[in-house]
Structure 1
Amino acid sequence: HMPHVSNRKVSKLPMITHEGQTRYIANARKGTSVIYKYFDLQTTNKITLKARGKGIVNILIQGVSQGSIEFNSDTWCQRELTLRKGSLHNVLSFKILEGSLDLLDFQLYSNESQI
């Protein structure tokens, strides 16, 4: 289980929270970065991100932008982005460029197979 800070939303603070058994990052606003270490991305060529809200998130590998995804939905929706080939030990980051989003999950793919 993902640890979480609260079971309710606090208006302007990014936080890990939940609705029932669904845990997610809430209130990720412009300037918020969510960083994951370390991934083997040598064969990864696609990422999907599930979020809700209105905003734009930039996806970075080792601090290098792979592109941005826009969301505009009050319900969870999934978007995808093609990635450039990474290396063995990579830092994967999501940076909110505009708006406010709740981030539910992401999946990495190698030649259309989920990793």
Structure 2
Amino acid sequence: MQIRNLEGIPIETVVTSLLEAFSDYFVKMPAEVAYWESRFKGAGVDWKSSFGIFDEKKLVAFIINGIDLHQGKLTAFNTGTGVLPAYRSRKAVDQLYEFAFPYFRESGTEK
């Protein structure tokens, strides 16, 4: 498995993973790619600062982050985290944050 940022990953790939990650939740997520495209744009998602775990070519866990100024400091904020049901209990989110924090420090993200 490999962790990398989501820059250049087709939005359809992200939405497919998101829908699968939340497939066993009580409330169903919207399935339309256009909905998610608009939502991510509105949230200020920065795909270079968003990360995923890939098993082969399949996105199996993700943290989608927005980046903006907050009180004058460059700030990352989580706009969505998901793990496919078959990959839960493997500390995927911990691994993603371990990967992300050095990136944030190097990129000047303060909060």
Tell me if TM exceeds 0.5.
no
Q: Point out which structure has higher relative CO (alpha carbons under 8 A, 6+ apart).
A: 1
More strand by share: 1
- TM-score, normalization: structure 1? 0.27
* Structure with more of its chain in helix, by fraction: 2
